Amino acid sequence: MATTVDQITQRRRGVGLIAHDPLRSAGGFTLIAPQTAAGNVYLVDIEGRVAHQWKMPVRPGRHAVILSNGNLGYNGNHPQTDARYAPWSMWHGGDFYEATPEGEIVWRHEDPDHHHDALWLPNGNLLYAACERVSDDFARRVPGGTSHTENEPMYADVIREVNRRGEIVWSWHAREHLAPEDFPIAPGFGRYHWPLVNGLGIDAQGRVLMSLRTTSGIIGVERDSGAVTLHIGPDVLSHQHAPTPLANGHILAFDNGNFRDGAHVAFSRVVEIEPSSGQVVWSYTDDVVNLFYTPFMGNAQRLPNGNTHITESASGRLFEVTPAGEVVWEYIIPWFAEYPDEDARRTGPGQLNSVFQTFRYSREQLPWLKV
């Protein structure tokens, strides 16, 4: 009798819990909002079992987090927004929800201009990356990139902070504070979005950290003046995501490596950077470097025991490494599906288990969890 071979490569190699060293893992629960799981959000225990689940009204634009009050903060994909450019359908958000553990929606904020990352701040405000069209004259000043259509419009980033009433209480416009000539788009990226802020953080000085995807690098912006007072450039990073301030003043980042200078193969790494010098003081790569690589999305989270939780987004691979770089936990997301809309499928085709970011939480951070 013939056996049908599973045509999904990642699933054929194995899904769910792959490895676990309970003596060296930080333990806890991992929050996963798969891009193509139709709004299902899963809280998975360290043994790979689903401990809790939410069903949100829309699929994720990007990710979900557990808030300090125990509720779910959800970055949803707005179902009614004008397409700005080809990949917009796949990666825009714009429909934010706060939901209780029981799934009751207690807050919602809509902004069709939103894309990529968002931070739920301790005061209840929401900080996120949006975009606005810039003039053709401004666009001509931006070097690099590849135009995919004639007279293609360009969008530039606007960072917005809103309060619980949805009022904008702070904003920052890239076109007002960045000199285009100093931030060229890499040749492999389109010219439709500059510099494409795909990740946000707030450091101990109160600066807003921004990851610039298409130009490579992380900047730090003073809230009062909007001035850029930190710039870690493409000599250190390659089209990274997720700038995360650490307690020691350093910045943890997921360095994707799409067009890494001097590399003959593409590979990703996680880096810890001392910001004043720009020096990489710790990094993780696979021993066979190309075996750890995601060309899009990705994040890293420093855990209380000093380990690092890593999201290798494109393959749905989540794993935890020690400071010495030894893997002590690995899990492959088992939920595969296509994007529901045709525009998104053109950019991200196939049966996917991808995820923007995942986060690990301790049992103490989930007092409502009944397990």
171-212 pLDDT, tens digit per residue, is 999 999 999 999 999 998 999 999 999 999 999 999 999 999
- Beta-bridged to residue 283, according to DSSP, are 271
pLDDT band at 364 (very low <50, low <70, confident <90, very high): very high
Place of tokens 């492959």: 332
In single-letter form, the type of residue at position 354 comes to: S
- Residue 370 lies inside a defined structural domain of this protein: no
> Which pLDDT score is estimated for 140?
95
> Which pLDDT score is estimated for 1?
67
- Number of structural domains (the chain) is 1
Cβ 207 vs Cβ 230: under 8 Å: yes
Distance CA 102, CA 370 (A): 12
Structural domain of residue 134, as residue ranges? 9-365
In single-letter form, the type of residue at position 343 comes to: D
Distance CA 112, CA 123 (A): 23
Distance CA 73, CA 65 (A): 5
| Mean local confidence (pLDDT), 1-15 | 89
Q: Which two tokens stand for residue 98?
A: 């706060």
Of the two residues 80 and 160, the one the predictor is more confident about is: 160
pLDDT band at 316 (very low <50, low <70, confident <90, very high): very high
Length of the chain: 371
Express each pLDDT in 83-111 by its tens digit. Answer: 899 899 888 999 999 999 999 999 999 99
Percentage of the residues of the chain whose pLDDT score is greater than 70: 99
- Residue 371 lies inside a defined structural domain of this protein: no
| Mean local confidence (pLDDT), 224-251 | 97
- Residue 3 lies inside a defined structural domain of this protein: no
pLDDT band at 67 (very low <50, low <70, confident <90, very high): very high
Distances (CA, A) of 63 to 15, 133, 345, 355: 21, 25, 19, 7
| Mean local confidence (pLDDT), 315-343 | 96
- Residue 4 lies inside a defined structural domain of this protein: no
Q: What CATH number is given to the structural domain containing 275?
A: 2.120.10.30
- Residue 323 lies inside a defined structural domain of this protein: yes
- Residue 1 lies inside a defined structural domain of this protein: no
Greatest Cα-to-Cα distance within the chain, rounded to the nearest angstrom: 71
- Residue 2 lies inside a defined structural domain of this protein: no
- Residue 239 lies inside a defined structural domain of this protein: yes
